[in-house]
Amino acid sequence: MFRICLDDDCHDIEECGACERNALIICFLINAVMFVVELYYGVISHSASLLGDSAHNIGDALIILSSMFVMGATLRVKAKVALLKSVIMLVFGILALWYVVQNSMTGYVPSATPITIVGIFVLIGNVASAMLLLYYRHKDINLKSAYICCRNDAISSVGIIIAGILVGLTQSNMPDLVIGGAIGLLICYSAIRIFKESMDVN
C-alpha cells in the first residue's frame, strides 16, 4: 500500500493525517527550492516567464505552509485562511504581469537555454507536488487551493519550456513575454476562483 509516513496504522493515504502532513511538507520544500532556482536564473537571463513563475512558486510555498497549520481546524477557519491565500496569489499574479510590462519596455531578449532547462526542472517538481496533493483536493477548500496552485504551476512549466524553445528559434523576447503574461493571468484567475469559494463557505 502506497504511503508517505512511518505510521504502522496507516492503511489509506487519503485518510492518514501523517501522510497529509508529510505531503504538504514535501510540497513546501519542492516549491521553496524551485523559487530559488527560478529567481536566480530569471534574474541572470532576464526572463519574464521565469521571474513570474518564481513569484508564483514562493506564493505557493507560503500557501502550502499555511495549509499545514490548519489541518485540524474547522471549515470556517480553513475558508478564512484560503481567503487570505487567494489575496496572496492575486498579489503574485499582478507581480508576474508587472515583470512582463517591464521586459516589454526594455526589449531585452533572454537567454533561451536557462529558460528551457529550468522549465524542465520545475515541471518535474510541480508534477510531483500535484500528484502528492491529488489525494486531498476534495477534502476541503484549503487543500483544494494548494492542489490548484501546484496543478497550475505544472501547466505553467510546460509554457516555460515552450517559451525557451521559441526564444532560441526566433531570437525574440515575445514568446517569453506571452508565456509570462499567461502565467500572471492564470494566477489571477485562480486567485479569484478560490476567493469566491472561500466567501461561499464564510
**pLDDT tier at 1 (50, 70, 90 boundaries)?**
very low
pTM reported for the whole predicted model = 0.77
Q: Please tell me the predicted confidence (pLDDT) of residue 13.
A: 66
DSSP code of residue 138: T
Q: Please tell me the predicted confidence (pLDDT) of residue 151.
A: 85
- Give the integer Cα–Cα distance in Å for 31 and 134: 16
Rounded average pLDDT over 161-172: 93
In a domain, 7, yes or no: no
Beta carbons of 56 and 156 less than 8 angstroms apart: yes
In a domain, 10, yes or no: no
Beta carbons of 137 and 158 less than 8 angstroms apart: no
Rounded average pLDDT over 115-140: 88
Would you say residue 175 has pLDDT above 60?
Answer: yes
Q: Please tell me the predicted confidence (pLDDT) of residue 12.
A: 67
Q: Where is 128: in which H helix or E strand? A: helix 112-133
Q: Please tell me the predicted confidence (pLDDT) of residue 201.
A: 65
For residue 108, give the 3-state DSSP assignment. coil
In a domain, 6, yes or no: no
In a domain, 2, yes or no: no
Number of other CB atoms surrounding residue 165 within 10 Å: 15
- Tens digit of each residue's pLDDT (9 = 90 or more) over 9-66: 766 666 667 778 888 889 899 989 998 999 899 888 888 888 878 877 877 787 787 7
Tell me the C-alpha to C-alpha distance, in Å, between residue 177 and each of 39, 110, 144, 173: 16, 10, 29, 6
Beta carbons of 116 and 164 less than 8 angstroms apart: yes
In a domain, 189, yes or no: yes
Would you say residue 187 has pLDDT above 70?
Answer: yes
Indicate the burial class of 169 (C-beta count within 10 angstroms; 0-12, 13-18, 19 or more).
exposed
Tell me the C-alpha to C-alpha distance, in Å, between residue 42 and each of 70, 117, 130, 140: 33, 12, 23, 34
Where residue 177 sits, what CATH number does that domain have? 1.20.1510
What's the structural domain count of the chain? 1
What is the span of the domain harbouring residue 59?
17-201
Would you say residue 202 has pLDDT above 60?
Answer: no
Rounded average pLDDT over 143-150: 80
- Tens digit of each residue's pLDDT (9 = 90 or more) over 61-106: 877 877 777 666 666 777 777 787 788 878 878 887 888 888 888 8
Grid coordinates of 193:
476562483
